[in-house]
Amino acid sequence: MHFENLNAFWAMGGYGLYVWLSFGLGFLSLIVLWVGSILTKRQLFTQILTEQTRQARIKAAAQKQQSQIADSGESK
């Protein structure tokens, strides 16, 4: 398509508002999707790290309890 000048390009034969609005909304949708994905990924990694830390504490507490039981059994 050939435009005589830059204003004719932006006007797009009277349909420029609809064309550029659709491009803008499409671009905005992609940005929102991208940011949302990044935030969701960070939240997921935080939850995984929290759960791993919790599981490590539970395991350490269980080992400590077993060693205390074993120590008290040996002293009897």
> CB under 8 Å to 20, separation ≥6 — which residues?
10, 12
Average pLDDT, the chain: 92
Q: Which of 39, 37, 17 is nearest to 29 (CA)?
A: 37
b/e map 5-40, b = 16+ CB within 10 Å: eeeeeeeeeeeeeeeeeeeeeeeeeeeeeeeeeeee
Domain residue limits, the chain: 6-75
Q: What is the pLDDT of residue 41?
A: 98
What value does the mean pLDDT take over residues 12-28? Answer: 94
pTM confidence score: 0.66
Q: What is the pLDDT of residue 69?
A: 86
